[in-house]
Structure 1
Amino acid sequence: MTATSMPVTVLITLGSSKQAKHLIPILLAQPNESYHIKAFCHSLTSGTKLLHEYGQPHNLSIVVGDQNNPREVAKVFQNEHVDVVYHISPPFTVDEEHNGINFIKAAQNAGVRHFVYSSVLHPFRMKMIHHHAKLNVEEYLTESTLNYTVLQPTHFFQNVNVKGAVADGTLSVPYNPDNEMGFVDLRDVSQAAFKVISEGPKHYRARYELVGDNQPYTAIAKTISTVSSKAVTAQRSDAAQMAKVMSKGDKDAYERAIRMLVYYDTWGLTGNTNILEWLLGHRPTGAEEYIKFALGQ
């Protein structure tokens, strides 16, 4: 960034999410404060906590609002300059399609330069309700006048409780642990997201599947055993109980979570790793590499 150029303002629509917490440090680390990050938070409390988490840097600010309220979302773009939107929806919300469209409409009206949507691997697998919702958001986005990029990450490696598996000797899986699953490291997702944001036009109108490795949980457990030198086995757990935990008592979220787990039990979820390798410029993180990282090796 030159002395006269302005920083690129990036609005991250779910500032407290796992993805945001991996992407924000990358943006903050760029020289000359070349990015200004605006983190959209649902409350002042969560926003203030986020600011303190990063040491209150000059180029990170919070915007408080409700994703589901179109007036509050539109107000953000009226009051704030935004170059790039990185849209993440809260997991398993019944309002996912609604809040996605809220941000697309507001960004379109404000003339935002680039809209990056964090969707999901294979949104066309519509037996899963939240995949169907993301597919509808993708369709609305591609029919807008916005320059867009859609990122489609699979199951995050960070969802695997590696240390807990070593401590307990079991890796609990709420579906068939022999079914192959696609995994991706959130660090890789964030690097790919930064590439898309920083290179801009090169990625307009692209949809990228983000997969780092395909493994059944039985193989993941064996790798944990090998890396940790502790016996670990994959053990099937109760899907309904896990869906209750994931949904935090919300009935609509429970329906989405249980359908996902039943789907995984029947078909699993796998994809191709080539696109992520191309975006990163190197092989994405695989199971063994991630497990070593999780165990501090």
Structure 2
Amino acid sequence: MILVTGAGGSVGRALVRGMRERGVDSRAFVKNARQGRVAVSDGATEVVVGDIRSRDDVVDAVAGVTRVFHATPTSVIREVSIAENIVGAAREHGVEHIVYHSVIHPEIAEMFHHQEKGRVEDVFRSSGVPTTFLRASHFMQNYLDFWEFIRGGVLPYPTSPESVMGVVDAEDVGEVGARILAAPVTSHAGAAYDLSTQELTRHEMAVEWSRVLGHDVSAVRLPANVVTNPVRGVGATASVATKSLRATHFRAPAQIARGIRQSSNAKGVRDWPKESRDCYVTMMQYYNKNGLPAGDMTVLPRLLGRPATSYREFARREAQRRGVVTVG
């Protein structure tokens, strides 16, 4: 039995599906009953509903499992105590392997959540429990929070369209996690793997969406503090709506209306604690100025045993999943 924390996220869901495909039982740790139902549909054998920050909930979830995949929800930025609880429970229950979903370049000092994941790596590294570290790049899925705008001809995000971002498909990361957890512990224990596919500016991402959707898609920048300042958000979405109408020759009013509703609280950020919202803004400001370099892009294909999913393949797949006929 494998415990999957963060089983409601893109990586966790892909990993649960990967375990099912391999005939391996999984226990999904989720935050509410709705996520639990989704986990069951993905193939989870068992579901535990709890708070990842609760030591008691973690200990109960770890009981009876042999391996753990740990991914902390994006809204939780202080992870060290969580990792310490997982280590304690793993020792108590004889867990033989932990796979930790970390982040590319945990050494970046300007972003707290990168540094925090580096500290968590240290907790696991010194725990005595064999651990593997997956250092994932910026997820291609992050832009799907603005799907209706993309369909309407605009790719908005709170960073510069010129910033170069190393990206990866979260489903590839989940597949790698499943492969590692199904393999002998000695195959990957102690390894830290960069998981990166391409480096793209958002202008280049917009070109890929244009090819797939068959109409122009333009990258535009939202203010970095749009998630903490609704007034700035109103002005930003009005500007995006205008550009969308122009890009689609006034054919996309429905997409614009849905996009405004969809993006008004992307990822539920406005419901996060203030510290988490502030951390998100700092992250966007860093990306705006510096981008995020990819790691070693030869690692992911080797772990997958196939080429990594390209951004164009990702865009085509996600559009088709949403019922859109693709052309590129």
The answer to whether the 8 A contact 2:140-2:170 is kept is yes
Q: Name the counterpart of 2:199.
A: 214
Q: Name the counterpart of 1:39.
A: 28
Q: Name the counterpart of 2:169.
A: 185
Alpha-carbon spacing, 1:52–1:171, altered in 2? closer, same or farther (3 Å): same
Match of 2:50 among 65, 85, 88: 65
Q: Name the counterpart of 1:12.
A: 4
Structure 1 Cα separation of the partners of residues 168 and 96 of structure 2: 28
Structure 2 Cα separation of the partners of residues 167 and 145 of structure 1: 49
The Cα offsets for residues 134-192 of structure 1, whole Å up to 9 and x where unpaired, read as: 11100111111101100011111112237434432111021111011011112211221
SS in structure 2 at match of 1:269: coil
The answer to whether the 8 A contact 1:166-1:225 is kept is no
The alpha carbon displacement at 1:51 in A equals 5.1
Alpha-carbon spacing, 1:144–1:237, altered in 2? closer, same or farther (3 Å): same
Structure 1 Cα separation of the partners of residues 55 and 40 of structure 2: 28
Q: Name the counterpart of 2:274.
A: 251
Q: Name the counterpart of 1:278.
A: 302
The answer to whether the 8 A contact 1:118-1:151 is kept is yes
Q: Determine what percentage of the aligned residue pairs are the same residue.
A: 26
Structure 1 Cα separation of the partners of residues 176 and 47 of structure 2: 24
Alpha-carbon spacing, 1:76–1:226, altered in 2? closer, same or farther (3 Å): closer
The count of aligned residue pairs is 280
The Cα offsets for residues 60-91 of structure 1, whole Å up to 9 and x where unpaired, read as: 101233221223322333xx311110001011
The answer to whether the 8 A contact 1:124-1:131 is kept is yes
Structure 2 Cα separation of the partners of residues 190 and 52 of structure 1: 17
TM-score by length of 2: 0.80
The answer to whether the 8 A contact 1:180-1:270 is kept is yes
Structure 2 Cα separation of the partners of residues 221 and 94 of structure 1: 30
The alpha carbon displacement at 1:48 in A equals 4.3
The answer to whether the 8 A contact 1:174-1:242 is kept is no
Could you tell me which amino acid in structure 2 is paired with residue 232 of structure 1?
V
The alpha carbon displacement at 1:277 in A equals 1.4
TM-score by length of 1: 0.88
Match of 1:116 among 82, 88, 99: 99
Structure 1 stretches of 5 or more lacking a match?
A: 1-8
Q: CA RMSD in A?
A: 1.9
Q: Counterparts in 2 of 1:16-35, with a 5 A limit? A: 16-30=8-22, 33=23, 35=24
Structure 2 Cα separation of the partners of residues 173 and 47 of structure 1: 26
The Cα offsets for residues 28-87 of structure 1, whole Å up to 9 and x where unpaired, read as: 122xx4x111111234x2354235534xx6x6101233221223322333xx31111000
